[in-house]
């Protein structure tokens, strides 16, 4: 049993101060940006009093770091909660759980919306498809099914043919049903999990630690919604829950779980005691684990914490080249609880930080002994207090090349929990001095934001190269943007062009403002790529903060992307946008061949019903329907009031009374004339099907005809509510003609699922390309010759002979004339 907590007087008084604040000048500066950088219901972001654990990656591979939050009733206590997926959309974290993380291959399970008691989450590519997947470790779920009470795997579905990200799906069969160490059916009390290749076969495996009877007991109540009582159910979570002792017949130890690898990628098998021995797996209270190559032999090892029992320590299990493991070999003892491992002293070895029940410490890896195992030196963090701590994260917050350390304060086992632990998070600066490596000499965010915290995510939200902070505490969530001391701001006083004429250059006014340094005057440039080719650099003209970039002339329908760059005299190159590029359409204009926003009646659209007993297409102001807490039909159109929907529901009606049954049902557009050239068809679509991801899933077929046979352009599948957009080129499927039509077809046959489809904002447009006159043909005789050269020289110094659009006839125009000399227009 652990005793005592250190309370820091006065912290709670600061919580009521102004929310928008920044830390004063210090080793790193943060500015609060919760309101502008986080879009989520306040139920989850303000005083939710729920335990949180973070993991992050670029889940949809758009160049922006996204964030997952797993949640549970605080402490070693029963009581699951829904998890959250925050997608980073150009620097703003937006709750997209319903859209991208609510599907499952098990009927009735809603993925992240299921009430799971998840304590930890890790990211890895389990099936080697290039997309990061998720695994959660679930605890204190003794009376739940294995599906809810054991580690859960969420597979990243990648993209569809249009490049739309499909999100995560919970897939129950990926994880084997696990059993207690004596073979009895039971759920683990998995306090932490980590991932890595633990048999050196090129596929990610996993290991988790388990604990037995917690330090809490009986009924634990927390006023989650702050209304003064504890008899509510808040978003599915009871305010009072049990903390039962463990039945010895259902006891787990550590668990080593292998990926089946090449024969069945992303499906796992329990190694039981066949790889690690029962003695190596043994633990009474396993609180934390990390998979790292501790001795630099190229094989990943397991670091685990065993605490609150005789022999409590942090120890390593070393992977060997064979099928056996060595250890556990002690790293440090004391009273460890939270733990994480990284190279803290920049010597290439893995070091360890322990959140000890006494003062926290870091343990430096000194290299290997004669047995090939690491040796260690422990250093107490002098600025730490003798108090509880838990989750530990690393990040180079000040970009000095050294990993700084963040230690959250709310104990995952022993209260007080929310609304206040009486403690705060500590953020330690890495000094680079081994015997005084981690110091907390000042607060870098206001103390209210550090109180009663569970985890922090040091991630670069806005892609400026500096780590920002998302902090999760009893008070909810807060976002803090790193205010770097050096950089370059790009601005565009006249905006950026969206369209440019073929054959013409385009001037762009650019503001370049350096802070913490000065711009190298030779460096500003616009980097231009045409049709996917390597970028070409075009220097800007100007000085100080005022510059002009010129895009060169392009051919009609060229695929053009560009970025702006500048360098500081002190070093460091900066780019805008930081990720991706800007684009411009090269066109003489856009011709809309057909457009219907569905707001003016059915017009010439037609519908057919081939055997459906319900769910025929109708034009309607849609009414949302739901089943088992999931929305199936839209509650609004994507644009305006009306859209086509597979039978509109009734107010308050369930999805099953108005969804598609049988079919197919078909919605066909009017004919549109594309005899003058190819065009792009775009539309908004809705599809919700609870068989998504199974062999029986229903699809929304999008087909096109030029007066002949119907050709499938898209086969859309989806399992989450929400409007989506897509487009395709007509010429990719049929030859454009004067009689082109598109149809949408959907069926629930056999009638074994809930299916709803919708269509809105249908548009057909083509890029217009007109012949571009030769700007060099000043005489208008159709040739570039001496007559034109004479006119150019006569106009020297005026705007009359300006060929490149800079407002003056000069050497640049003469160069263009010479390059085109002798050619015909």
In the chain, ranges of CATH 2.60.40.10 domains? 487-587
Q: Is 713 left (phi over 0), alpha (psi -120 to 50) or beta?
A: alpha
514, β-bridge pairs: 488
Give 326-361 pLDDT, tens digit per residue: 999 999 998 898 999 999 999 999 999 999 888 999
What pLDDT, on a 0 to 100 scale, did the predictor assign at position 771? 57
**243, 173, 171: which is closest to 211 by C-alpha?**
243
Confidence of residue 820 (pLDDT cuts 50, 70, 90): confident
What pLDDT, on a 0 to 100 scale, did the predictor assign at position 411? 80
Residue 75 CA neighbour count, 13 Å, CB half? 27
What pLDDT, on a 0 to 100 scale, did the predictor assign at position 8? 32
CATH of 487-587, one of 2.102.10.10, 3.40.1160.10, 2.60.40.10, 3.90.1150.10: 2.60.40.10
Compute the residue count for the chain: 825
What pLDDT, on a 0 to 100 scale, did the predictor assign at position 2? 32
pLDDT at 20 > cutoff 60: no
Determine the Cα–Cα distance for residues 429 and 591; give it in Å rounded to an integer.
Answer: 59
Determine the Cα–Cα distance for residues 692 and 169; give it in Å rounded to an integer.
Answer: 9
pLDDT at 140 > cutoff 60: yes
pLDDT average, residue stretch 604-613: 95
**80, 53, 101: which is closest to 150 by C-alpha?**
80
- Selected residue with higher pLDDT from 410 and 373: 373
Confidence of residue 773 (pLDDT cuts 50, 70, 90): low
CB 389 within 8 A of CB 406: no
What pLDDT, on a 0 to 100 scale, did the predictor assign at position 812? 85
68, β-bridge pairs: 55, 85
What are the two backbone dihedrals, phi and then psi, of residue 44, each rounded to the nearest 5 degrees?
-105, -15
Q: Is 449 helix (H, G, I), strand (E, B) or coil?
A: helix
pLDDT at 591 > cutoff 90: no
Give 49-58 pLDDT, tens digit per residue: 999 999 999 9
- pLDDT > 70: what percent of the chain? 96
Give 52-102 pLDDT, tens digit per residue: 999 999 999 999 999 999 999 998 899 999 999 999 998 999 999 998 999
What pLDDT, on a 0 to 100 scale, did the predictor assign at position 214? 73
CB 432 within 8 A of CB 424: no
Is domain 591-768 classified as CATH 2.60.120.200?
yes
CATH architecture group of domain 773-825: Orthogonal Bundle (1.10)
pLDDT at 704 > cutoff 60: yes
Confidence of residue 18 (pLDDT cuts 50, 70, 90): very low
What pLDDT, on a 0 to 100 scale, did the predictor assign at position 9? 29
In the chain, ranges of CATH 1.10.1330.10 domains? 773-825
Work out the mean pLDDT of the chain and round it to a whole number. 91
Identity of the highest mean pLDDT range in 541-545, 627-631, 792-796? 541-545
Give 151-196 pLDDT, tens digit per residue: 999 999 999 888 889 999 999 999 999 999 999 999 999 999 999 9
pLDDT at 15 > cutoff 70: no
Q: Is 273 left (phi over 0), alpha (psi -120 to 50) or beta?
A: alpha
Give 214-254 pLDDT, tens digit per residue: 767 889 999 999 999 999 999 999 999 999 888 889 999 99
Give 644-667 pLDDT, tens digit per residue: 999 999 998 888 899 999 999 999
Give 392-450 pLDDT, tens digit per residue: 999 999 999 999 999 999 887 777 789 998 899 999 999 999 999 999 988 999 999 99
What pLDDT, on a 0 to 100 scale, did the predictor assign at position 313? 94
CB 654 within 8 A of CB 703: no
First to last CA, the chain: 90
785: its two tokens: 């010759």
In the chain, ranges of CATH 2.60.120.200 domains? 591-768
Q: How many CB atoms are closer than 10 A to CB 235?
A: 15
What pLDDT, on a 0 to 100 scale, did the predictor assign at position 389? 85
Q: SS3 letters for 584-614?
A: EEECCEEEEEEEECCCCCCCCCEEEECCCCE
Q: What angle do CA 449, 453, 459 make, to 5 degrees?
A: 75
Determine the Cα–Cα distance for residues 188 and 192; give it in Å rounded to an integer.
Answer: 11
CB 587 within 8 A of CB 556: yes
What pLDDT, on a 0 to 100 scale, did the predictor assign at position 772? 56
**82, 78, 77, 104: which is closest to 174 by C-alpha?**
104
Which single residue is written with the structure tokens 């066909």?
668
What pLDDT, on a 0 to 100 scale, did the predictor assign at position 267? 98
pLDDT average, residue stretch 753-774: 86
């Amino acid at each position: 049993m652990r005793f005592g907590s250190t309370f820091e007087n006065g912290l709670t008084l600061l919580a009521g101060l102004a929310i928008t604040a920044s830390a004063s000048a210090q080793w790193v500066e943060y500015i609060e940006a919760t309101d502008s950088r986080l879009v989520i219901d306040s139920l989850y972001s303000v005083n939710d009093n729920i335990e949180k654990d973070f993991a992050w990656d670029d889940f949809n591979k758009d160049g922006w770091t996204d964030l997952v939050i797993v949640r549970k009733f605080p402490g070693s206590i029963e009581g699951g909660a829904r998890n959250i997926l925050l997608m980073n959309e150009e620097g703003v974290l937006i709750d997209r759980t319903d859209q991208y993380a609510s599907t499952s291959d098990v009927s009735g399970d809603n993925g992240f919306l299921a009430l799971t008691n998840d304590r930890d989450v890790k990211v890895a590519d389990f099936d080697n498809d290039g997309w990061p997947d998720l695994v959660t470790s679930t605890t204190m779920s003794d009376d739940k099914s294995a599906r809810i009470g054991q580690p859960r795997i969420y597979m990243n579905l990648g993209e569809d043919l249009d490049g739309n990200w499909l999100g995560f799906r919970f897939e129950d069969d990926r994880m084997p049903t696990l059993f207690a160490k004596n073979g009895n059916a039971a759920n683990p009390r998995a306090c932490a999990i980590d991932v890595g290749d633990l048999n050196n076969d090129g596929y990610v495996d996993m290991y988790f630690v388990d604990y037995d009877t917690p330090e809490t007991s009986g009924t634990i109540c927390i006023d989650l919604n702050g209304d003064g009582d504890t008899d509510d159910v808040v978003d599915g979570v009871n305010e009072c829950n049990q903390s039962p002792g463990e039945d010895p017949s259902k006891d787990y130890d550590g668990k080593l779980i292998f990926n089946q690898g090449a024969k069945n990628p992303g499906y796992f098998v329990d190694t039981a005691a066949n790889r690690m021995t029962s003695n190596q797996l043994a633990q009474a209270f396993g609180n934390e684990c990390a998979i790292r190559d501790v001795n630099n032999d190229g094989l990943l090892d397991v670091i685990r914490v065993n605490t609150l029992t005789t022999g409590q320590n942090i120890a390593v299990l070393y992977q060997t080249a064979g099928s056996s493991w060595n250890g556990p070999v002690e790293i440090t003892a004391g009273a460890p609880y939270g733990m994480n491992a990284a190279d803290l002293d920049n010597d290439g070895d893995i070091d360890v930080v322990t959140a000890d029940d006494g003062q926290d410490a870091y343990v430096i890896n000194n290299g290997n002994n004669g047995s090939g195992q690491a040796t260690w030196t422990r250093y107490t963090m002098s600025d730490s207090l003798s108090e509880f701590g838990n989750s530990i994260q690393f990040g180079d917050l000040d970009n000095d090349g050294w990993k700084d350390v963040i230690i959250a304060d709310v104990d995952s086992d022993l209260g007080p929990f929310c609304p206040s632990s009486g403690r705060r998070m500590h953020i330690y600066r890495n000094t680079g001095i081994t015997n005084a490596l981690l110091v907390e000499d000042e607060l870098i965010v206001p103390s209210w934001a550090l109180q009663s915290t569970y985890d922090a995510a040091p991630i670069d939200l806005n892609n400026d190269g500096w780590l920002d902070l998302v902090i999760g505490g009893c008070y909810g969530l807060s976002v803090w943007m790193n205010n770097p001391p050096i950089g370059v701001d790009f601005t565009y006083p006249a905006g950026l062009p969206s369209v440019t004429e073929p054959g013409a250059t385009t001037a762009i006014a650019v503001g370049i403002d350096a802070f913490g340094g000065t711009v190298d005057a030779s460096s500003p440039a616009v980097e231009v790529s045409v049709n996917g080719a390597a970028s070409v650099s075009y220097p800007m003209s100007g000085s100080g903060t005022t510059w002009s970039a010129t895009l060169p002339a392009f051919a009609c329908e060229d695929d053009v992307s560009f970025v702006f760059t500048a360098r500081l005299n002190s070093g460091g190159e900066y780019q805008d946008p930081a990720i991706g590029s800007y684009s411009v359409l090269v066109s003489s204009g856009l011709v809309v061949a057909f457009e219907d926003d569905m707001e003016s009646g059915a017009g010439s659209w037609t519908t057919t019903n081939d055997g459906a007993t319900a769910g025929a297409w109708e034009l309607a102001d849609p009414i949302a329907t739901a089943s088992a807490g999931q929305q199936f039909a839209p509650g609004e159109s994507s644009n305006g009031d009306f859209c086509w929907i597979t039978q509109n529901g009734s107010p308050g009606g369930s999805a099953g009374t108005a969804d598609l049954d049988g079919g197919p049902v078909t919605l066909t557009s009017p004919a549109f004339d594309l005899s003058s050239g190819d065009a792009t068809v775009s539309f908004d679509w809705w599809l919700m099907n609870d068989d998504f991801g199974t062999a029986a899933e229903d699809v929304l077929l999008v087909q096109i005809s030029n007066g002949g046979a119907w050709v499938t352009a898209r086969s859309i599948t989806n399992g989450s509510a929400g409007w989506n957009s897509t487009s395709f080129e007509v010429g990719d499927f049929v030859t454009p003609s004067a009689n082109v039509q598109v149809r949408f077809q959907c069926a629930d046959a056999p009638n074994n699922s809930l299916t709803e489809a919708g269509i809105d904002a249908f548009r057909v447009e083509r890029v217009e390309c007109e012949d571009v006159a030769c700007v060099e043909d000043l005489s208008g005789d159709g040739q570039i010759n001496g007559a034109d050269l004479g006119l150019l020289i006569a106009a020297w110094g005026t705007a009359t002979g300006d060929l490149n659009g800079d407002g003056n006839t000069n050497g640049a125009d003469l160069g263009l004339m010479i390059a085109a000399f002798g050619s015909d227009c």
